[in-house]
Amino acid sequence: MRGVTFDMTAMMASNLVSRWSGALWSGALGICAIVAVIRPAHADPRAVVELFTSQGCSSCPPADKIIGDLANDPSVIALSMPIDYWDYLGWKDTLADSRFSARQRAYSRMRGDREVYTPQVVVNGSTHVIGSDRTGIENAIGKTDKSTGVMSVPVTMSLSGKQINVSVAASNETAASHGEVWICSIAKSVPISIGRGENRGQQVTYHNVVRNLLKVGDWTGRSESWTVPIENLTRDGVDGAVVYVQDGSRERPGPMLGAAYTSLH
């Protein structure tokens, strides 16, 4: 089991992930093994839900299913970020990226705890909960939604030829006056047949899996726009994109300030 009990799993994961402490983030490419939802252009999301999951974790399939359910909620941007630190258990995760593991550790450092485990959900960049706890996730969404500045900044994306136009509106709240703007490409549904490890013999579908991430720019509280070539995001299986504005930095991620989704087809 990976994440059913905090104390044991968090301690194991903390010891294990330290071996990857030297892993570097690539400059323009970032985080994410994330995934989002097909959303109406006018939708105003209330939450970004990031699931840190692993094909080698027997506790993860129920959490992966929950992310699939949340992907159908137009008020939620649900993202899957497969981590790599359980690969030694007998099955190398085919979607994992060490940058996702680094993002999960960065969240833990910002919270000041040692809670790094799977399946772990981080809601709006601030609150974590066991990924298979649907009620806990909903409660975390409600709790963070009331925090000043969280998901308060309007963000829009539109396709124009071979480029994506990203716009972030000016902020009316002093608590949301700066942040980093990132865009990530996602694969909405990725079925994987697992041959070894704790989930051997199972076929698990991963939803809204992040396949690539680029930093678009820095937002300073004023209305700003950027253009991103689609060719910088596309790869096999990618069919959507998510843009988010987050307080802090990739090494010190803070609350989510705003986000949007668009289909690439």
What tens digit of pLDDT does each residue of 55-69 get?
Answer: 999 999 999 999 999
Task: Tell me if 241 sits within 8 A of 182, measured CB to CB.
Answer: no
Distance of CA 30 to the CA centre of its chain: 11
| 213 pLDDT above the threshold of 60 | yes
Q: Closest Cα partner for 149 from 217, 246, 252, 49?
A: 246
Count of C-beta atoms within a 10 Å radius of residue 235: 9
Average pLDDT of the chain, as a whole number: 85
Region 129-144: mean pLDDT is 97
Rounded CA gap, 186 and 37, in Å?
Answer: 9
Q: How confident is the model at residue 18 (pLDDT cuts 50, 70, 90)?
A: very low
In this predicted model, which residue has the larger pLDDT, 6 or 258? 258
| 175 pLDDT above the threshold of 80 | no
pLDDT tens readout for residues 183-207: 999 999 999 999 999 999 999 999 9
Share of the chain above pLDDT 90, in %: 73
| 31 pLDDT above the threshold of 50 | no
Q: How confident is the model at residue 74 (pLDDT cuts 50, 70, 90)?
A: very high
| 19 pLDDT above the threshold of 60 | no
Region 95-119: mean pLDDT is 96
DSSP string of 114-141, one letter each residue: ----SSEEEETTTEEEETT-HHHHHHHH
* 184's tokens: 């990530």
The DSSP bridge partners found for residue 262 are 241
Count of C-beta atoms within a 10 Å radius of residue 187: 22
70, exposed or middle or buried, with CB in 10 Å at 0-12, 13-18, 19+? Answer: buried
- pLDDT for res 176: 76
Domain range list for the chain:
6-263
In this predicted model, which residue has the larger pLDDT, 187 or 32? 187
Share of the chain above pLDDT 70, in %: 84
Region 152-164: mean pLDDT is 93
* 102's tokens: 């680094």
The DSSP bridge partners found for residue 79 are 50
φ/ψ (deg, to 5) at 263: -80, 150
Where do the DSSP E strands lie in the chain?
47-53, 76-82, 120-123, 127-130, 155-160, 163-168, 179-193, 203-219, 224-229, 240-248, 253-263
| 22 pLDDT above the threshold of 60 | no
Which CATH superfamily, name and number, covers 6-263?
Glutaredoxin (3.40.30.10)
Half-sphere exposure of 175 (CA within 13 A, CB side): 12
